[in-house]
Structure 1
Amino acid sequence: MYCKVNQTECIACGICQLAAPNLFDYTNEGIAYFVPDNNSGRHPLNPQELIKMKIAYHKCPTGAIKRSVTPFPNS
């Protein structure tokens, strides 16, 4: 499983970082990003990361956290 944050949908509520502090952080503008791969969506999650990511994913009020079974395309 792969993950990234759609930063245009993020409202900087802080829920993702509370749920998974090792996976999510914030830019200087306060917008969340996925830490392990600097939000590229190309870092395969290990089982422990996957559990934390899914908690954050389900709690995100805007659905800004995206997940995929394949790496996200280069942007």
Structure 2
Amino acid sequence: MHYTKINREICIACGLCQIIAPTLYEYDENGIAYTVRDGNQGVIPVEKEEMDLFKKAYTSCPTGAILRSTQPFSEKE
């Protein structure tokens, strides 16, 4: 399993992640991305059918703001 969340401090609101994987990522009122399903906590795994889109978004992010893990993220991360 893979988990994802956005490092919102380095997100530049370019729009790529939401364009590539709209079921995974959305933007707040300031244009900063977050994960849709868990409010950017990184505790709900990426669905199998979304893995290709997740990988494309992850590798396309110009700042590396999309984080991934094989374990749920802790509150401190």
Instruction: State the TM-score, normalizing by the size of structure 1.
Output: 0.95
Q: Distance in 2 between matches of 1:31 and 1:46?
A: 23
Runs of 4+ in 1 over 4 A off after TM superposition: none
Instruction: Write the letter of the residue equivalent to 1:46.
Output: E
CA apart distance, 1:51: 1.6
CA apart distance, 1:22: 1.0
Counterpart in the other structure of 1:46: 47
Counterpart in the other structure of 2:14: 13
CA apart distance, 1:46: 1.5
Q: CA RMSD in A?
A: 0.8
1:4 aligns with 2:18: no
Q: Distance in 2 between matches of 1:24 and 1:73?
A: 19
Q: Distance in 2 between matches of 1:68 and 1:58?
A: 14
Give the gaps of 5 or more residues in structure 2. none
Q: Distance in 1 between matches of 2:74 and 2:36?
A: 17
CA apart distance, 1:48: 1.2
Percent identical among aligned pairs is 49
2:53 counterpart SS class: helix
Size of the alignment, in residue pairs?
Answer: 75
